[in-house]
Structure 1
Amino acid sequence: MTVLLAGLCTVDIVQRVAELPEPGQKVQSASVSVAAGGPATNAAVTVAALGGRALLLTVLGSHPLAELARSDLRECDVEVSDALACHSDPPPVSAVAVRERDGERTVVSHNAAAVPEVAAPRRLPDVDAVLVDGHHPELALAAARWGRRLSRPVVVDAGSWKPVFTELLPLADIVACSAQFRAPAAALRGVPTVITTSGADPVRWSSGGESGEVAVPAVAARDTLGAGDVWHGALVTKVGKLGIPRLIEFANAVAAERVRHAGPRSWLGPVKAKMGVT
């Protein structure tokens, strides 16, 4: 399974703390991790962990901080196509604090707001599915249009409304929203499948005139950072192979395994073992 994932790549600095700090308060962290992050990036790591070939189309640039993300992604077997390799500014950086007792987190992120508009590569590879998060609009549209041209499933990770979604959603086969997603009334009209996640609550779906809910496994969460992105990555590895309820069940199971483990990459070995990936 080869998946093209277009979107944000950040450098995540993750610290585990006993309690999340109040305004003006300083706290001591128990550990510090540095890893690549961002919705499409975390989904790409998941695709690779589940035995797929993950092709990440993003913007990193030439700043020394970008090598931290590249190095991590090489370790995770994610292939990176940098659409603006000469960009000299620092890549987007996220400062993350994760609460030790329940895995809840706070994130402060610059995202891709300051990154110039970029043109997608003239030629994209043959793939089995496409996932986009909308953070680099031109890359998202190019990837989604390529998926449609190849008649491959196109999944949109709709965490929060972005103006590009006006053009992007009509290209989607599946739009996977968070419960906090707010869109213009007609934005999702005509999308074949809409899925809404809500943390530990059941995942709701509607597809082809049918609808339903799929329960989320109850787990003792140790780290919720990127769990939704992992869910999307798991979903896209099986899209077109499973019916919608079973597809959601699979994504739920992989995301549940992620939150059981503390740290950005500690879950990869266990999920590979659980899914029989060598």
Structure 2
Amino acid sequence: MAATYAAPVPPSPLVLACGLTTLDVRQTVDRVPGPDEKVVARDLAVEVGGPAANAATTCTALGVRARLLTRVGGAAVGRIAGEDLARHGVQVLDLAGPDDAPAVSTVLVTAATGQRAVASVNATLATRPGAGSGAGSGAGSDAGPGAAPGSRPDARLDAALDGVTAVLVDGHHLDLAVPVAATARARGVVVVLDGGSWKPGLERLLAHVDVAVLSADFRLPDGPGREGREGREGREGREGRDGADLLEAVRALGPAVAAQSHGEGAVEVRSAAGAQHVTVPPVAVVDTLGAGDVLHGATVAWLACVAGRREAPGDGGSEALDAFDALRFAVTVASASCAAPGARGWTADAGAVDRFRAALPR
């Protein structure tokens, strides 16, 4: 009797998002108030935010399991954030202390344009009762108490990667992100960077990133893109030579693929295969809050689903093809996000959610 062999079983998609969690207080206004002025908001919502947290909830909305490695804490604000994440099916691995709390962001969305104004603190200044009065657990620290840059502060980081098929890091909590990305890369797990802005030490993280997806405002501290949005001559300049130089400079720091979003403009992609562009579908904008986080979450969800197709770790050609397909999918989800309030408003359209889920490679 001839021997039979079972076909290899592809890994079940599981994303690990590592980075910032915030609690967002969002209000819609007719216009942003000026100095010493009060305005009446049209509505109010209190919900979890932060790049990594929003990416994780995007994954679960798309039917892809998500685990979030972050610092939330046991203070009242942290409990609210943790409960909200649990309601959205995100498994939270919280490395904060019982008295720590996440940052709180205040967001004003202009009703007529969907543009948002945000006041927040990043992971280095996250709110903590008695901050500055004791060692604590470093809920708001990118280095963590007593942690050397790039060190492994907790053995749970290895366990966090168990079963994971794709990783997203947002540049916050670098003491967690760097060893997580390095270990993932060593295991052949694709690592995606949400590059919202440059943060000190980000070069250490980029060394372990496969796909870097940058915001329009991302710039290097010294080099291409440092002039930022204000110093460029319109979108043509941002997507022309300066943008290409920036993406190549980022690729030189480690990623095989670097991409940059430009709002409603095309996403520019650079890899060893050359330059490509992903067209963004037009929508009637309601709220741009969290659209970039949704873009990154949908990108890593796609890559988690195709993880079994990668020929080998660090295969630049395969990564470029997967990343381009992932971004083509992700821009449709991010556009839908812009047509609804908040980072998760799009999930209220069950028909759209079903279409997006069906479009993912399984």
Shorter-chain TM-score bucket reads over 0.9
Q: Distance in 2 between matches of 1:188 and 1:276?
A: 31
Please tell me whether the aligned partners of residues 33 and 264 of structure 1 are also in contact (alpha carbons under 8 angstroms): no
Query: Is residue 2:200 matched to residue 1:188?
Result: no
Unaligned runs of 5+ in 2: 1-12, 126-139, 145-152, 224-248, 307-320
AA matched with 1:72 = D
- 111-120 vs 123-132, which deviates more? 111-120
Q: Distance in 2 between matches of 1:145 and 1:32?
A: 40
Q: Distance in 2 between matches of 1:211 and 1:15?
A: 39
Please tell me whether the aligned partners of residues 155 and 173 of structure 1 are also in contact (alpha carbons under 8 angstroms): yes
Shift of 1:274: 2.9
Give the number of equivalent residue pairs: 276
Identity, % of aligned positions = 38
Relative to its length, the structure with more strand (as a share) is 1
Shift of 1:49: 0.5
Shift of 1:111: 2.0
Shift of 1:269: 3.0
Name 1:170's counterpart in structure 2.
207
Using the size of structure 2 for normalisation, the TM-score is 0.73
Shift of 1:34: 0.6
Using the size of structure 1 for normalisation, the TM-score is 0.94
Unaligned runs of 5+ in 1: none
Shift of 1:276: 4.2
AA matched with 2:106 = A
Higher relative contact order (CA 8 A, sep 6+): 1
Q: Classify the secondary structure of the residue corresponding to 2:206.
A: helix
Computing the radius of gyration over CA atoms, which structure comes out larger, 1 or 2?
2
Q: Distance in 2 between matches of 1:199 and 1:75?
A: 30
Name 2:120's counterpart in structure 1.
109
Please tell me whether the aligned partners of residues 130 and 144 of structure 1 are also in contact (alpha carbons under 8 angstroms): yes
- 50-59 vs 120-129, which deviates more? 120-129
AA matched with 1:275 = F
Which of residues 348, 356, 361 is equivalent to 1:269? 348
Name 1:39's counterpart in structure 2.
51
Shift of 1:212: 1.4
Shift of 1:164: 2.3
Q: Distance in 2 between matches of 1:112 and 1:244?
A: 28
- The C-alpha deviation readout for 1:47-76, integer Å capped at 9, x for no partner, is 111111110000011110111111111111
Q: Classify the secondary structure of the residue corresponding to 2:37.
A: coil
Shift of 1:163: 1.8
- The C-alpha deviation readout for 1:58-112, integer Å capped at 9, x for no partner, is 00111101111111111111111001132x2432000001111221100000121
Shift of 1:122: 4.5
Which of residues 16, 32, 48 is equivalent to 2:28? 16
